[in-house]
């Protein structure tokens, strides 16, 4: 099986596990994420607007916005890194590329902490995304310029210890689920 085929199979299995976890989610998953972010108040933070069955970071983002700048990713085109536009709970949102909601207007921000959505993760910081490479390019660029903390946010059911990864796949620094905080060695 090729690496592309292995990634496709891992994504399919992870999407099924995520959908099941999402159906059972009481909506309290952001509590642990908020406790992690409390130690970084005021540091520019990127969250994300949840799509489909992604775990929602919105409660943690709203809390963080009371203490410092929060932004969300904007896809400007295939093959490009993400840009980040200022966000708070009153921001007017419009449909963006690939269906994610993005701010209609606002300041561009360079985050130092990123809450990263994912399809699957491993305890060693591996992350399987949707396959576009947006977060890999973005994290590589941000880390080349200074510190950037990548926090994967997912349901515990999305864990996969045998993720097929490539050299270009950027590692997560930490994973937060609805049940635990996983420090990556």
Distance of CA 12 to the CA centre of its chain: 18
Q: What is the pLDDT of residue 1?
A: 83
Contacts of 31 (CB under 8 A, 6+ apart): 59
Half-sphere exposure of 92 (CA within 13 A, CB side): 3
Which H or E element spans position 19?
Answer: helix 3-23
Contacts of 129 (CB under 8 A, 6+ apart): 117, 118, 119, 135, 136
The CATH number of whichever domain residue 18 belongs to comes to: 3.40.50.10420
Q: What is the pLDDT of residue 168?
A: 87
Range of the domain at 134: 3-183
pTM of the model: 0.94
Q: What is the pLDDT of residue 154?
A: 97
Q: What is the pLDDT of residue 173?
A: 97
Rg of the chain over Cα atoms, rounded to whole angstroms, equals: 15
Q: What is the pLDDT of residue 98?
A: 78
Q: 């209609």: which residue's tokens?
A: 104
Strand partners, 177: none
Q: What is the pLDDT of residue 104?
A: 94
Q: What is the pLDDT of residue 107?
A: 95
**Token reading at 129:** 């995304």
Q: What is the pLDDT of residue 174?
A: 98
CB 87 within 8 A of CB 73: no
**Token reading at 86:** 């200022």
Report the domain count for the chain.
1
Which H or E element spans position 74?
Answer: strand 70-74
What tens-digit pLDDT sequence spans the chain (185 residues)?
Answer: 898 899 999 999 999 999 999 999 887 788 899 999 999 999 999 999 999 999 999 999 999 999 999 999 999 888 899 999 999 999 999 998 877 899 999 999 999 999 999 999 999 999 999 888 899 999 999 999 999 999 999 999 999 999 998 888 999 999 999 999 999 98
CB 151 within 8 A of CB 135: no
Contacts of 90 (CB under 8 A, 6+ apart): none
């Amino acid at each position: 099986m090729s690496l592309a085929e292995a990634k496709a199979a891992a994504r399919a299995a992870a999407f099924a596990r995520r959908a099941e976890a999402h159906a059972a989610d009481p909506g309290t998953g952001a509590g642990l994420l908020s406790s992690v972010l409390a130690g970084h108040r005021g540091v520019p933070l990127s969250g994300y607007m949840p799509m489909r069955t992604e775990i929602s970071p919105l409660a943690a983002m709203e809390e963080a916005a009371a203490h410092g700048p929060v932004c969300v990713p904007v896809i400007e085109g295939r093959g490009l890194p993400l840009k980040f536009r200022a966000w708070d709970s009153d921001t007017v949102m419009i449909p963006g590329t690939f269906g994610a909601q993005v701010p209609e207007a606002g300041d561009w921000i360079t985050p130092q902490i990123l809450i990263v959505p994912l399809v699957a993760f491993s305890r060693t910081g591996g992350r399987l995304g949707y396959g576009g490479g947006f977060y890999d390019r973005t994290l590589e660029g941000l880390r080349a310029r200074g510190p950037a903390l990548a926090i994967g946010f997912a349901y515990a059911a999305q864990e996969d210890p045998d993720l097929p990864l490539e050299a270009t796949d950027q590692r997560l620094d930490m994973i937060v689920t609805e049940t635990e905080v996983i420090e990556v060695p």
